[in-house]
Amino acid sequence: MEAQKQHLGIPRTLIPWYPIIDQERCTGCMNCVRACKHDVFAMDTDMPLVANPYECVVFCQSCEYVCETGAISHPPKEAVKAVIKELRKQYQPR
Ligand code: SF4
Ligand code: SF4
Closest residue by CA, ligand 2 atom 8: 36
Residue 75: per-residue pLDDT: 98
Domains identified in the chain and CATH numbers: 21-91 (3.30.70.20)
Neighbour tally for 68: CB within 10 Å: 10
Residue 1: per-residue pLDDT: 55
Which ligand 2 atom sits nearest the alpha carbon of residue 55?
Answer: 3
Asked if pLDDT for residue 89 goes beyond 60, the answer is yes
Q: What is the pTM of this model?
A: 0.92
Q: Which residues line ligand 1 (CB under 6 A)?
A: 21, 26-32, 48, 66-67, 69, 71-72
Residue 44: per-residue pLDDT: 81
- CB distance 64 to 40 below 8 Å: no
Determine the Cα–Cα distance for residues 40 and 55; give it in Å rounded to an integer: 6
Ligand nearest to the CA of 41: 2
| 21-59 pLDDT per residue, tens | 999 999 999 999 999 999 999 988 889 999 999 999 999
Question: Please, what is the average pLDDT of the chain?
Answer: 94
